């Protein structure tokens, strides 16, 4: 008999979590202005708000914390991290930052100017925010298959080459500082980009003289999907695949809180010496000296270990299999989710789930709140609230997909938790026709509103 799969780790420490009553949750949600970001962690039973910085570190990472060098300049921990990043990415220069959006802020301060356009595959919220706050424009060139949740396309994060070339033809070269490839593509459902597509994007971009940068928060998960789904890649290691992927670009930003397996941190990696020098100045202004950039030495030491662990097949198989396990449970219950299941999260289509809620009443936020009220599970809206208003017209932007994301922290929950989540969402689905009203906005910020928005029942 074939042995069943078992996780390649054992649990060494646990944290107690408390289940609350529905009455408590309804009161807490009301006090939070119906914005799940405003809840206290103690009010949440299973937290799927994000996979960013919420995972469990390994014993090797905890050991590395104790060897961190806290020197202000020239830290030994920086050298360890620099060598690891060079080995995995092939990029020469490293600038640590305190997290991924800080890396965007530093790099975009060098590259992005008023009136620029930055094409890519479904830019995430902070990426788009950093572009738009500089009065530039993010243009989505994702393949159309990404917006059909039933389409089985294995690489829904791919860039449509025809859409991309239209951007290149419509704008002068000096107004396109770079093309951004997000791996995996979070906003389209944690979907991967193929090596074939990256290579084709590079060849097209080279013809127009446009460099490629990567948003690399989940690059290891992307490499796993390439190994599992792309013909000719099945016998390569994750590190080999990742290094080839990065060879098609000139630099990257990284939120290390995802595939770095740490609780805080980020970095920029580059091959261009001049851009490195310019970005170094902004690092010093915004973050700290260039050899720590907002990170403690101990966190850089843990990150160096985490990057190596995250690019091992056994870890990725365990991590992504758990996400797939939850996704398949929901599919069996008839829940409309983005298919194939993504790397870091399961994405529910709220338009199919709650057809009675109009777009202007934010159906994805409505569904996220119902899931919390049902079982104390905190998720996040990836829909109209996140899409924000057009910066010029101030009209709501309605994305093609109105999603609720169930982001699974790494090495944190068991499959029993996944079973609990699935049944809770089925319970909401069974009473979906009773949910007739959504929410109205009481107050919102001018940009990145979904983090702090205040709502009331419609």
125 an active-site residue? Answer: yes
69 is catalytic: no
Catalytic residue among 9, 30, 59, 72: 72
Which tokens in the block code for residue 301?
A: 């030491």
For 116, left (φ over 0), alpha (ψ -120 to 50), or beta? beta
199's tokens: 């290579």
Contact 25, 376 (CB under 8 A): yes
246 is catalytic: no
Helix (H) or strand (E) holding 317: helix 313-332
Which residue is catalytic, options 78, 93, 108, 124? 124
Is residue 217 flagged as an active site residue?
yes
**Residue bearing tokens 């356009």:** 117
- The angle, 0 to 180 degrees and rounded to 10, between the axes of the packed helices 363-375 and 415-430 is 120
Cα–Cα distance measured from residue 303 to residue 3, given in angstroms and rounded to the nearest whole number: 33
Rounded CA-CA distance 316/221 in Å is: 7
Is 124 assigned a catalytic role? yes
Tokens 């690399």 found at: 216
The answer to whether the beta carbons of residues 450 and 381 sit under 8 Å apart is yes
Which candidate in 130, 202, 257, 450 is catalytic?
A: 450
**How far apart, in whole angstroms, are the C-alpha atoms of residue 400 and residue 128?**
16
Rounded to the nearest 5°, which phi and psi values hold at 441?
-80, 130
- DSSP letter at 229 equals H
Nearest residue to 402 (alpha-carbon basis) of 448, 362, 437, 344 = 362
Between CA 29 and CA 305 the distance in angstroms is 38
- Annotated catalytic residue, options 47, 215, 299, 349: 215
- Based on the number of CB atoms within 10 Å of its own CB, is 360 exposed (0-12), middle (13-18) or buried (19 or more)? middle
Which residue is catalytic, options 47, 116, 125, 388?
125
Note if 144 is an active site residue: no
Q: Say whether 51 is catalytic.
A: no
Cβ neighbours for 261, distance < 8 A, ≥ 6 positions apart: 55, 57, 58, 61, 303, 306, 307, 309, 310, 410
Residue among 103, 146, 217, 422 flagged as catalytic: 217
Instruction: Please check whether residue 138 is in contact with residue 122, taking contact to mean a CB–CB distance below 8 angstroms.
Output: no
Of 456, 425, 423, nearest to 353 by C-alpha is 425
Of 202, 258, 339, 344, catalytic: 258
CA 248 vs. chain centroid, Å, equals 21
Q: Are 205 and 174 in contact (CB under 8 A)?
A: no
- Residues designated catalytic: 72, 124-125, 215, 217, 258, 450
């Amino acid at each position: 008999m074939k042995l069943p799969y078992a996780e390649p780790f054992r649990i060494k420490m646990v944290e107690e979590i408390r289940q609350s009553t529905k009455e408590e949750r309804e009161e807490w949600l009301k006090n939070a202005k119906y914005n799940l970001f405003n809840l206290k962690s103690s009010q949440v039973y299973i937290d799927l708000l994000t996979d960013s910085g919420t995972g469990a570190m390994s014993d090797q990472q905890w050991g590395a914390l104790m060897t961190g060098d806290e020197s202000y300049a020239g830290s030994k921990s920086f050298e360890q991290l620099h060598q690891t990043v060079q080995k995995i990415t092939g990029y020469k220069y490293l600038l640590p930052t305190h997290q991924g959006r800080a890396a965007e802020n530093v790099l975009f301060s060098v590259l992005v100017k008023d009136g620029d356009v930055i094409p890519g595959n479904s830019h995430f919220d902070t990426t788009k925010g950093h572009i738009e706050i500089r009065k530039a424009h993010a243009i989505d060139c994702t393949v159309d298959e990404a917006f059909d949740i039933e389409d089985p396309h294995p690489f829904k994060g791919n860039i449509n080459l025809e859409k991309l070339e239209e951007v290149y033809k419509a704008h002068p070269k000096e107004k396109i500082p770079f093309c951004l490839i997000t791996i995996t593509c979070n906003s389209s459902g944690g979907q991967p980009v193929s090596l074939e597509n990256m290579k084709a994007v590079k060849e097209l971009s080279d013809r127009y003289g446009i460099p490629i940068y990567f948003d690399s928060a989940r690059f290891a998960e992307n490499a796993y999907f390439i190994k599992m789904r792309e013909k000719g890649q099945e016998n390569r290691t994750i590190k080999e695949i990742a290094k080839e992927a990065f060879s098609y670009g000139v630099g990257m930003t990284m939120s290390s809180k995802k595939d770095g397996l740490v609780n805080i941190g980020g970095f920029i990696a580059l091959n261009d010496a001049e851009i490195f020098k310019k970005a170094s100045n902004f690092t010093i202004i915004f973050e700290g000296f260039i050899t720590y950039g907002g990170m403690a030495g101990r966190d850089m030491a843990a990150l160096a270990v985490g990057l190596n662990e995250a690019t091992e097949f056994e870890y990725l198989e365990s991590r992504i299999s758990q996400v797939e396990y939850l996704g398949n449970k929901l599919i069996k219950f008839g829940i409309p989710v983005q298919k194939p299941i993504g790397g870091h999260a399961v994405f529910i289509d709220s338009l199919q789930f709650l057809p009675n809620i109009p777009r202007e009443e934010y159906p994805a936020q409505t569904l996220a709140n119902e899931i919390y009220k049902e079982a104390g599970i905190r998720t996040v809206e990836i829909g109209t609230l996140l899409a924000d208003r057009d910066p010029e017209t101030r009209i709501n932007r309605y994305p093609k997909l109105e999603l609720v994301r169930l982001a699974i922290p790494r090495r944190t929950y068991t499959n029993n938790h996944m079973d609990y989540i699935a049944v809770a969402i089925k319970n909401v689905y069974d009473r979906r026709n009773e949910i007739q009203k959504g929410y109205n906005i009481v107050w919102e910020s001018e940009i990145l509103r979904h983090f702090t928005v205040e709502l009331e029942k419609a």
